Amino acid sequence: MIVRAQRLRGRSLRVGILTIFVLCFLACSLMAQEREPETPPPPPLPPPQARTNERLAIRAGRMFTGKADDLAKQQVILIEGSRIVQVGPAGDVQIPPGTDVLDLGNATVLPGLIDGHTHIFASGPDLDEQMLKEPLQYRTLEALVNVQRDLYVGFTTLRDLKTLGGMYGDVDLRNAINKGLVQGPRLQVSGRGFATTGGFRPKGYSRDIPLPSMLQTVDSPWEARKGVREQLMNGTDWIKFYAAYDFTFSPDGKIVNPPTFTLEEVQAFVDEAHDKGHKVSCHAFAGKGLHNCLAAGVDTIEHAVQLSDEDIQQFKTKGIYLIPTLYHYQLDREHDAKKYGGHTVAEVSEPNFRRAAAAGVKVAFGTGVGPFPHGTQVKEFEYMVKFGMTPAQVIRAATIVDAQMMGWEANIGSIERGKFADLVAVCGDPLADITELERVKFVMKGGQLLRNDLNAPAGKGCQK
């Protein structure tokens, strides 16, 4: 009996110690979770709602077509399958019997929004860590989440400008969306992108350690031509290159942005891509790199923060699109001020963008969204208005102008007969308050209803 009692006491002691250990472990885990909160999941994106009929009619209380700068009242959009077959005043459009009807009589309906400059493979603030530690397959899954977040807030089309070491994952994602394997916006992609030796690269590491490049490296006109051929062979839509990368500020606050590629190399990118029916995007803030892109006749210039009068004239003469990415610089204000002795890209971009917009440069909508959370790109609308454009001009930039820039104006960008039924809706009047576009409540892509909060409970819909 004595031995048995001792065994029972020993067993109880072991159980007690184990219990204490488990409780301590759980407590420590809970404390760790409090210290390191998990990233919230993306907004829910349910499967497209089934159509009971091939034909659908949408009654719109107000409508911005993308072709005019005002709102049409009491309109009907008639959809068959994925495309619009008729649109016009409610009294002129006959809704055939048996047609499904969506009543958006209290809302403003617009074309699906387009973001002409994204980086869907950028997730989080540390791109070096992401590229060096995350497998390509995992990064593709992150990119899928990012495009679905953008679709949820109303962007039915994206132009993505390089994968930041993600190789041709954007091509695969685009193809998977197009084949219906996964849900996402329409995509035009640029694959790996191009830089020179010493250009866009991880920094601060030992030179004795070979590191992967975030872009494809080329160092001559013939290498540029070969690189274009290779990327187009692998399925990219656009050619994207960095005509200038690192920058500093002069004492008087001007941006100093040395070129990377020579004019001959830039011309090789442009000629090779254009000869094969593809377009070219140039990254440059200022200086000779920007001038090389203008001289060579690229299709779009991203950022173009510092512009001379001659630069602005070349934009206009050659019909080159400017994608300003204004909100991006607002986020970087504090970082820039610390790094550059009080100077910021934001303070340079504002007056130069005002001049370009006032001069009639073709301004397209693009956010540069990537390292900062997806969904925040809607703030770009506010800054384009704040810095000189009217709300109508901004909405057109994010719809029909982007569609023209992408060569897709025959299919998207406006609410017209024959175009895809890519539609979004908000409650208020975005021409009076551009921030309405930050509160999209209805999303449709190709006639498939992806989101509809307009008639939802709990006050999510529009007020009568």
Buried b (16+ CB within 10 A) or exposed e, 51-78: eeeebbbbbbbbbbbbeeeebbeebbbb
Q: Which two tokens stand for residue 181?
A: 């394997």
pTM, rounded to two decimals = 0.88
Q: What is the DSSP letter of 437?
A: G
Going by C-alpha positions, the residue among 170, 345, 190, 355 that lies closest to residue 254 is: 345
C-alpha to C-alpha distance for 163 and 192, rounded to whole angstroms: 6
Instruction: Measure the CA–CA gap between 14 and 216, rounded to whole angstroms.
Output: 60
pLDDT of amino acid 427 = 96
pLDDT at 25 (0 to 100): 39
Amino acid 214: pLDDT:
87
Residues 6+ apart with CB under 8 A from 28: none
Q: What is the Cα–Cα distance from 160 to 84, expressed in whole angstroms? A: 26
* 438 contacts: CB under 8 Å, gap ≥ 6: 378, 379, 381, 382
Position 51 scores a pLDDT of 59
CA distance 155 to 224: 32
Instruction: Give, in degrees to the nearest 5, the angle at Cα 391 between 413 and 85.
Output: 25
- pLDDT tens for the chain, 464 residues: list them: 444 444 444 455 444 444 444 444 344 443 434 333 344 455 555 566 555 678 999 999 999 999 999 999 999 999 999 999 999 999 999 999 999 999 999 999 999 999 999 999 988 778 788 888 899 999 999 999 999 999 999 999 999 999 999 999 999 999 999 999 999 999 999 999 999 998 777 777 888 888 778 899 999 999 999 999 999 999 999 999 999 999 999 999 999 999 999 999 999 999 999 999 999 999 999 999 999 999 999 999 999 999 999 999 999 999 999 999 999 899 889 999 999 999 999 999 999 999 999 999 999 999 987 655 555 678 899 999 999 999 999 999 999 999 999 999 999 999 999 999 999 999 999 999 999 999 999 999 999 999 999 876 554 568 65
Strand ranges in 181-285 using DSSP code E only, listed in sequence order: 186-189, 194-195, 216-217, 238-242, 248-249, 255-256, 279-284
